[in-house]
Structure 1
Amino acid sequence: MNELMAYLDDGKEWTIDQLEIDKLDCINYAFAKIDGLNLTRELKKIHLVNQIKVTRPELKTCISIGGWTADGFSDAVQTDETRASFSGNIIRYMRRYEFDGVDLDWEYPGMDTAGIKATPDDATHFLAFVKELRHQLDEAGAQDARDYRLTVAVGAAPALLETMSPNGAFDYVQYCDYINLMTYDMRGSWTHLASHHSNLLGYTAPNGTLSAQESVNYMLAKGVPAEKLVIGSAFYSRNWTGFPAGTAAPLATPAESLGDHTSNYNELAPLLSAHPENVYWDEEAKAPYYFDGHRFSSYDDARSMAAKAQYVVAHGLRGLMFWESSLDLTGTLVDAAAAVFAATR
């Protein structure tokens, strides 16, 4: 069965009745932070989700650990002793909030791009840590008569995929239930070229190769089973502004700005509705964009969500996930993907 999975930020503004939880199979609850060998953050709203699980026990929840700029992984997984202690503390935190598993979001082993500590041995230590955490989760599951999940969020680009594993062997995958491919932010704050950031397929442009499909194919070529792959979608846009006068085809056109400004779908929806003449569909990339002569926005909409869900079904993938649930309280994007999966069940 294909699963629809949401990341949900404890710190964002939302109420439980605003979320399309009845359409979801799993919630990755973001984020717990690392303090030494412990997890920190007093979660404010997870009890609201847990109340839903009383009547929907098939809904799973995982505590997502880390996130962009979140430090602490490198030190916590350096030795057998620290890995064992850290894993035990993760399980205590998981049990405290009644989660069904753990999602690891280390961005990224061996890379200090996000301003975190990184060492050449991070990937080796990560593999040993995932093995230890899997072992402890299985022991906890036997004690609690539950199957605890272990998942990992990874970047979309080949360099980000490779940094997760020593020698490119991807051995860590065997200890995971599935892998969340963050196939969004594939282009953005580092380029002036107006670009798709959450495209399903590659497209004809100087920087158009990277796509959800390329990430999937890369993992498959490494021997990762299709049923362990989850592709990602974005409930927000990446925006570029400032184009030469008369620009008619903005894709891959240099803008004055970088793609570092974002708009959530709650903000986008009224704009798209008010100006349908500025909304376009790129059939090659299977992705929409907005362009009004000054602003270019790349985002996911109902059509691209449905296309991604159809791709998941057609290629036997585990599912589709998105960042982040509160960024679309209209229900439009969840409904589009859920309808595709419902038709196959």
Structure 2
Amino acid sequence: MPTLDFSKYTHVNFAFAIPTASGGLSYDNQAAMPGIVTSLHAAGTKAIISIGGWTGSGLFSTILKSTTSRAAFLGNIVAYVKTYNLDGVDIDWEYPGRQGDSCNAYDASSDTSNFLAFLQDLRSQLDSTFGSRNKLLTLAVRVEPFDGPGGPVSDVSAFAKVADYANLMTYDIAGVWNPTTSPNAPLQFAPGQGPQFSVASAIDSWSGAGWPTSKMNLGIPFYGYAMAATKNMLQTPSNMYAPISATAPQGDKDDVLYADPCSGGPAVYSGSWQWKNLRGQALLTSTGAAALPWVRTWDSTTSTPWLFNPNTNTFITYDDPQSIQLKVNYAALKGLAGTMVWSMDMDYNDELLSNYRYIANFIVGAFFHYFGKCN
């Protein structure tokens, strides 16, 4: 891991603590926690434990249905915060009322209501143990509100009352799971092209359901994805959408074959490209210029860059200083609290972080996750 300047982040989330069936917590880097928390606090940065994540959300639904495991879960979270002198807890359930990873339990009829009751009790226990609002309670959320039996619920205002912030995961909007090349994290989506979600639509969806923008942090990825296009996209460079192969090409040097134990499928590459490897492996010779045979193109509709290699027909969607600056500007315009990035170790000589222009108090990082405040 590169050397990280914690003072550049207002909050750092340790990702992830994984819930156990009995309501316990398991965190791989637990032995290192005391030293890292001390370092964060010395830098004036808050330390938060993030619970769940994509592969760690399988048991939320069942834990919250059991009186015994639910009570244990609440107690263990509060004890964890106390033991490690943490500044709060982040719940990253992917997703209440909706299938996330294929082996995750979920219940569209009761997950969201159970989640609200649980968060209300967690807020109460944190306040009674540490003092009113002395510990943060944040949520990592998808591009639409939590699901009920009929899809996304229309009112999340009760959640906003007990949580301090919602960290909008406005990324992973596109990947090899889609039929065409598309942007990973568009500022605006292109109507009728690619997934119809974006930074702007996520903010509108959550604020329209009653979550104040002043309690939102905009998620920004420090990575992107490669996809195998079925044609040379540079023949029509104004169009970033083309059919793709169902199998992702290998991404950067850190992208390894992985077999999801939930799906039971073969080991495959994710196609992921971290910014530090786009630069370190010299696909990009500077923040805005590509090395041949790669060609950098900019899509003005989604406000995102993309790379293409005509020798292999490989497309890469990613974010760079230009696209990030536009997102940070938009978050400030909309009155968001700040920004959150995944993840802080994916930057290259702070090129992405240093291009933020509207950050005062809030950047959340993760070994993690991050947020940063818009001024």
Quick check: TM above 0.5?
Answer: yes
Contact 2:173–2:197 under 8 Å retained in 1: yes
Contact 2:97 2:112 in 1 (8 A): yes
Q: Which runs of 5+ in 1 are unaligned?
A: 1-13
| SS of alignment partner, residue 189 of structure 2 | coil
CA shift for structure 1 position 163: 4.8
Q: Deviations over 1:25-74 (max 9, x none)?
A: 111110001112111124243334323334333x1121000010222211
SS of structure 1 residue aligned to 2:227: strand
Letter in 1 for 2:326: A
Structure 1 residues 80 and 214: alpha-carbon distance in aligned structure 2, compared to 1, 3 A threshold: same
Please say if residues 123 and 166 of structure 1, whose CA atoms lie closer than 8 Å, have aligned partners that are also in contact: no
Report the equivalent of 2:122: 133
SS at match of 1:69: helix
1:181-220 Cα shifts (integer Å, max 9, x gaps): 1000011131130000111122254225310110001111
Q: Which amino acid aligns with 1:271?
A: L
User: Which residue of 349, 353, 362 maps to 1:330?
Assistant: 349
Q: Secondary structure at the match of 1:340?
A: coil
Q: What letter matches 1:60 in structure 2?
A: K
Q: In structure 1, what is the Cα distance between the partners aligned to 2:152 and 2:324?
A: 33
- For residue 339 of structure 2, what is the amino acid of its counterpart? L
Q: Judge conservation of contact 1:191–1:258 (CA < 8 Å) in 2.
A: no
**1:26 pairs with 2:45:** no
Partner of 1:265: 275
Partner residue of 1:123 out of 108, 112, 135: 112
What is the Cα deviation at residue 166 of structure 1? 8.4
Aligned residue runs from structure 1 range 1-345, under 5 A = 14=1, 18-35=3-20, 36-42=22-28, 43-57=30-44, 59-70=45-56, 71-114=58-101, 115-119=103-107, 120-142=109-131, 147-156=134-143, 158=144, 161-163=146-148, 167-170=153-156, 171-207=158-194, 209-245=196-232, 247-249=235-237, 251-258=240-247, 260-269=270-279, 270-273=282-285, 274-275=290-291, 278-293=295-310, 294-337=313-356, 339-341=357-359
Q: Is the 8 A contact 2:165 2:215 kept in 1?
A: yes
Cα RMSD of the aligned pairs, angstroms, is: 2.5
Where 2:39 maps in the other structure, the secondary structure is helix
| Inter-partner Cα distance in structure 2 for 1:68 and 1:344 | 27
More helix, by proportion = 1
8 Å CA contact 2:96, 2:147 repeated in 1: no
Distance, in Å, in 2 between the alignment partners of 1:317 and 1:344 is: 7
Aligned AA (2:18): K
Q: Deviations over 1:210-261 (max 9, x none)?
A: 1011000111111211101111111111111143246433512112245641
Secondary structure, counterpart of 2:283 in structure 1: helix
> Is contact 2:189-2:196 (8 Å) kept?
yes
SS in 2 for 1:138: helix
Ranges in structure 2 where 5+ consecutive residues have no aligned partner:
249-269, 361-372
| CA distance, structure 1, for counterparts of residue 341 and residue 374 of structure 2 | 20
- Give me the TM-score of the superposition, normalised by structure 2: 0.79
- Number of matched residues? 324
In 1, Cα distance between equivalents of 2:80 and 2:70: 15
Residues 75, 208 of structure 1: CA spacing in aligned structure 2 closer, same or farther, 3 A cutoff?
closer
Secondary structure (helix, strand or coil) at the match of 1:45 reads helix
CA–CA distance in 2 between the matches of 1:123 and 1:54?
Answer: 34
TM (normalized to structure 1)? 0.86
Contact between 2:88 and 2:135, CA under 8 Å: does it hold in 1?
yes
Give the Å deviation of 1:155.
Answer: 0.9
Asked if structure 2 preserves the Cα contact closer than 8 Å seen for 1:138 and 1:148, the reply is yes
C-alpha distance in 1, partners of 2:163/2:374?
25
Equivalent-residue separation in structure 2 for 1:163 and 1:325 (angstroms):
33
In the aligned structure 2, how far is the partner of 1:166 from the partner of 1:131?
Answer: 20
Please name the residue that 2:365 is paired with. none
SS in 1 for 2:359: helix
Contact map agreement 1:19 1:329 (CA 8 A) in 2? no
